[in-house]
Structure 1
Amino acid sequence: MTFQNEHNHLDNAQSLCPFKMLTGFPCPGCGITKSLVYIYEGDIVKSLHFHLFGPFVFVLCVLAIIILSVELFTGKSYFRTLFYSKKVAYFLAVILVVYHIIRLYYFVADHTFDDILRQSIWK
């Protein structure tokens, strides 16, 4: 038996993110879990709707498992310099910050102040 997101209850479910609960605004990681759930269900469009990086996180996790398994069996290290590269980390951080600023812009444009307060603990 597989889990099914019956009646799309995730679309309207309240986030358990502490930052969103305090402020009403999404944090940079908000929506990633919902995005991954929709990836598992095969709905790429909804996955991208909740978080742009959801499908990429899924692919990177699968690749990491494969690469680490191969490293275990061969005893060799592949991509070690890439995994510990500060340049790659800074690049990904900049992309995440830019994406989050764009998300916040659209979030504020789509919600009233009362809507934002209702999504926090300060209802």
Structure 2
Amino acid sequence: MAPLHSQNLSSHQWKNRVLIIKSEDKKSELFKKQLGEFETTDAELKERKIALYKIVGDDFWLKNYTKPNANTTEKITIKFKDEILEASKNFEVILIGLDGGVKLRQSSLVTKEQLFQLIDSMPMRANELKRNN
């Protein structure tokens, strides 16, 4: 098991955009559909520096597309729940930018096209694209 610093979002600042997909029920159709949106997008998620936090109840999985050796599974901390998640929501999707700010928070499905369009419209992403061209 990895150290709990993986739940410290500041450890991702300026390195990763954090995509959090949270459900209180692992059998939720919305949760399954949301995860399915990103099943075949590993290259796109890596290019956009995504660290995916999948949270079901008290269980937490991290998949870091830019640093696979940082992937981990553990129990979610109360601090993380209290500071980041909305307890009243059974399902939510949160995107945190490289600067640590919340860029998206919603309790409905986010398509891969919506997510990528949002990220690609961000000034830091525009700079990344310019540097890569």
* TM-score normalised per structure 2: 0.31
Larger-gyration structure (1/2)? 1
| Structure of higher RCO (CA pairs closer than 8 Å, 6+ residues apart) | 1
Relative to its length, the structure with more helix (as a share) is 1
Relative to its length, the structure with more strand (as a share) is 2
* TM-score normalised per structure 1: 0.32
